[in-house]
């Protein structure tokens, strides 16, 4: 189960290097303080709740999610379940931050506790409990393992990430955990929300901000998981790296003295004298070859990131 093809890592190494450099730069300014940084944390928590729930079919908009969580309003025309999904995820996030602060490895109990919070008042019968029967996943290219094996497989997965026998960097380790958890599919419901919480628990314990998979990347996300089922982790790792780069850039932009200006690529091409077309720069962003992140459906980067890529290519020639 744990035989993993890691040959793709060399192609993504420049992206890994960039992410760890940004993580280290962020670490130098911890503990983070100030109204702006507090606001970023609150805003990202709402975005995280909105996007994670939307990927699973929740129809609340970002604004509606914010109104429920911060203003306590009830949204007309939306189901009680959708309201509970928003409130529950926010409660799970508060518990997650408590776990981040504890100097210990993750446990199966932590996973069950997060799942219990995700499904509270929705499916109390199954909240915090492993499935005891078989399941099938619509649109997936695999069948989850027999329910009798689930408990031991979860224990094996937890031991794998805590011991890290392959010496994986935390980004790859969290990605492998993400896929293996989805493959085990330990719960009847709430697997997606729970795995995105625990994956970020792993990252945040290592000093990274959360990697928020955007609703607009839902199709790419599921396609990447299906590729991982066939042993190809490159697409999923790249998607996770891009999600991580976005939140790193958001945090770093609020630190005094940071002068990086991320601009939508179409506007950057119009404003700056660059040697590449909009289409090519967008391709570099999607491939993780330049410092860039996504907002909605649009890619943002800096003039300096493109110029650094040009210099790197010239050095190789």
Helix H, strand E, coil C: the string for 230-247 is: CCCCHHHHHHHHHHHHHH
For residue 313, give Cα distances in angstroms to 159, 245, 307, 310.
41, 22, 10, 5
Q: Is the omega angle on the peptide bond into residue 70 within 30 degrees of 0, that is, cis?
A: no
Out of 89, 178, 185, 293, pick the active-site residue.
185
Return the SS3 of 264: strand
For the chain, first and last CA: distance in Å?
Answer: 41
115 carries an active-site annotation:
no
**HSE toward the beta carbon, residue 87, CA cutoff 13 A:** 15
Q: What one-character DSSP code corresponds to residue 263?
A: E
User: Which residues are 294's β-sheet partners?
Assistant: 299
Question: CA-to-CA distance for 79 and 66, rounded, in angstroms?
Answer: 16
- The per-residue b/e assignment along 200-211, b for 16 or more CB within 10 angstroms, e otherwise, is bbbbbbeebbbb
Question: So which residues are the catalytic ones?
Answer: 185
């Amino acid at each position: 189960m744990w035989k993993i093809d890691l040959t793709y890592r060399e192609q993504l190494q420049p992206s890994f290097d960039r992410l760890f450099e940004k993580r280290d730069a962020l670490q130098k300014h911890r503990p983070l303080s100030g109204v702006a940084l507090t606001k970023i944390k609150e805003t990202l928590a709402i975005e995280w709740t909105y996007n994670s729930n939307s990927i699973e079919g929740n129809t609340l908009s970002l604004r509606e999610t914010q109104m429920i969580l911060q203003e306590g309003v009830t949204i007309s025309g939306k189901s009680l379940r959708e309201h509970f999904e928003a409130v529950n995820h926010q409660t799970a996030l508060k518990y997650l931050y408590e776990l981040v602060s504890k100097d210990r490895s993750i446990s199966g109990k932590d996973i069950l506790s997060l799942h219990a919070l995700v499904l509270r008042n929705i499916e109390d019968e199954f909240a915090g409990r492993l499935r005891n029967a078989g399941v099938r996943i619509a649109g997936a290219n695999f069948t989850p393992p027999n329910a009798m094996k689930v408990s031991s497989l979860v224990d094996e997965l937890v031991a794998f990430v805590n011991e890290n026998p392959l010496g994986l960097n935390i980004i790859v380790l969290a990605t492998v955990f993400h896929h293996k958890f989805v493959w085990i599919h330990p719960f009847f419901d709430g697997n997606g929300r729970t795995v995105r919480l625990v994956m970020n628990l792993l990252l945040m314990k290592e000093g990274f901000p959360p990697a928020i998979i955007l609703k607009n990347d839902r199709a790419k996300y599921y396609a990447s998981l299906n590729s991982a089922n066939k042993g190809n982790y490159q697409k999923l790792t790249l998607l996770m790296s891009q999600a991580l780069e976005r939140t790193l850039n958001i945090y770093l932009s609020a630190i005094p003295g940071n002068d990086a200006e991320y601009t939508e690529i179409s506007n950057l091409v119009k404003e700056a004298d660059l040697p590449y077309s909009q289409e090519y720069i967008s391709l570099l962003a999607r491939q993780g070859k330049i410092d860039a992140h996504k907002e909605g459906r649009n890619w943002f980067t800096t003039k300096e990131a493109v110029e650094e890529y040009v210099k790197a290519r010239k050095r190789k020639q």
